[in-house]
Amino acid sequence: MNVLHIDSGILGEHSVSRRLTAAVVAQIKSEQPDASVTYRDLVANPLQHLSGAHLMAANAKPEDVDAQIAADNVQGAAVLEEFLAADTVILGVPMYNFSLPSQLKTWIDRIAVSGKTFRYSADGPEGLAKGKKVIIVSTRGGHYSAGPAAVMDHQESYLKAVLGFLGVTDIEIVRAEGLNLSADSKIEAISEAERTISGRANLRLAS
């Protein structure tokens, strides 16, 4: 099994999402020692935001493309290939300002490619990245999974929408929320998420 491990939390060793994605990977390796894991840290090695120049370069002659733009597109192609090759994708996704980190959005812009991960047909859009398992490790300072605040969730809801558009329907969420409410709330949220991971109560892996 090929596993793609993505981190986008900006807090380094203090990041709860990074702690939990590492726990998911450890759980996978304990059950499937032969699993191949590819790691990408979108903070330590950020992707360039997609621009018109990047898109136009795809159809331009190589000699007419700026060297930096060409290098960015080569990196983007590598990111796409990592995603396509993965059976299971682990996404570390902290909520920032009700949405996801901009670093992760740049990654999504590089994998959402017409003709590669989706296409438009006479019947409408079709996702081409079928058969993958995505485990979203979602961390939040407050509570947004239920109640009035749920309408402010543009993190998990966006990810499920865009992944579904790409054809990924096997999506599991490991969630730790209420992290900023109190020290006790943080401890309990992390512990509950870790129990989910180690106990496999809700976590299923791709075969």
Residue 89 lies inside a defined structural domain of this protein: yes
Residue 207 lies inside a defined structural domain of this protein: no
- Check the annotation: does 98 bind a ligand: yes
CATH number, domain with residue 151: 3.40.50.360
Q: Is the pLDDT of residue 54 over 70?
A: yes
How far apart (Å, rounded) are the C-alpha atoms in residues 94 and 96?
A: 6
Residue 95 lies inside a defined structural domain of this protein: yes
Residue 204 lies inside a defined structural domain of this protein: no
- Check the annotation: does 142 bind a ligand: yes
Residue 123, judged by CB atoms within 10 A of its CB (0-12, 13-18, 19+), counts as: exposed
Q: Is the pLDDT of residue 205 over 60?
A: no
How far apart (Å, rounded) are the C-alpha atoms in residues 81 and 170?
A: 20
- Check the annotation: does 140 bind a ligand: yes
- Check the annotation: does 15 bind a ligand: yes
pLDDT digits (tens, 9 = 90+) for 4-53: 999 999 999 999 999 999 999 999 999 999 999 999 999 999 999 988 88
Helix (H, G, I), strand (E, B) or coil at 70: helix
- Check the annotation: does 141 bind a ligand: yes
- Check the annotation: does 95 bind a ligand: yes
Residue 76 lies inside a defined structural domain of this protein: yes
Domain assignment of residue 86, given as a range: 2-199
pLDDT of residue 131: 96
- Check the annotation: does 200 bind a ligand: no
Helix (H, G, I), strand (E, B) or coil at 17: helix
- Determine contact, residues 140/95, Cβ cutoff 8 Å: yes
- Check the annotation: does 18 bind a ligand: no
Residue 206 lies inside a defined structural domain of this protein: no
Q: Residue type at 19? A: R
Number of domains composing the chain: 1
- Check the annotation: does 202 bind a ligand: no
